[in-house]
Amino acid sequence: MAIAIICSGGDAPGMNPAIKKFVDYVYKCEQTPYFIYDGLEGMIDGNIKKADHKDVAGIIHIGGAIIGSSRSKRFYEYKYRKQAFENLQKHDINKIIVLGGDGSYNAFGVFAKEFPISFIGIPTTIDNDIYGTEYCLGVDTALNVIRSAVDSIRDTASTFKRAFVVETMGRECGYLAAVTAISSGAEVCVIPEMNFNKKVAKHYLKKDIAEGRRYILAIVAEGTKATTDIKEWLENEIGMETRISVLGHIQRGGNPTVHDRMMAFEFVVRGVALLLKEEMIHQAIGYQNGDFVSMEISVVNSGKYSVPDNILKDLHYLD
């Protein structure tokens, strides 16, 4: 049986450990693994090749994805989805492991309604914003990359008595910013999920400065589009010289942490096992309450992720 793996959408640390485990485990199951290179674009173009152990040797510690990834506007058109299916047929592939986020899940949800394709989605995004799972591959590494950057920024902020506004990724989800703010002891956190109470924050920050505080650390989620506003507020209302640091794509790179590697292994093994067990399946694997679960892709695609209440309650100066 031919089983393929594809990375779709944004890259995330943990993809390469998942790819390695995929090849090793599929061979262990006496099946044939295939790589779909460069995501949906590669599937449309027929960039599909049989994988071997040598292809995944020495990749477990590397960020990114050795098989590439992409976002595809062409995949919105039926003729290109049909072309992608025909390319899969050339290799007798009708089962696919999908490493991606909600955009990838939606794309394969449409694809599987039109053609006889089985797939298992593995939540892979640093945004950690997929419904039905508390954990996505890549988020632990991203949080540690952010932690390292924020710790360094704090050093220079305290030296020069400055405020720093650090912008994190996450699209419309504030998970990265919220966890970073809590774990770094930031004085300010601004995320899409909650309103930032400037009046309350100003009261406490002014009090802290009067008592000797030398710096302020503000974590802002990119989805709020409030980075510049918070900088101006800190300068004009709080009275502290302020700098902006947009972390950008460094959050997507770096050596996958041990946790991301181990989670990648578990996700892949369970995904392949489901594909081998069922003749036709369209599901995603999630992680809930310390255990792995599987859900119909239609359920995942119709839901909306929300940052856990226990994390929101730990944030300061919020309505």
Are 184 and 155 spatial neighbours (Cβ–Cβ below 8 Å)? no
Q: Which residues contact 234 (CB under 8 A, 6 or more apart)?
A: 163, 165, 188, 216, 218, 240, 242
- DSSP labels, 51-73: --GGGGTT-TT-SS-TT-----S
Active site residue 52: no
Catalytic one of 38, 127, 129, 260: 127
- Residues known to be catalytic: 127
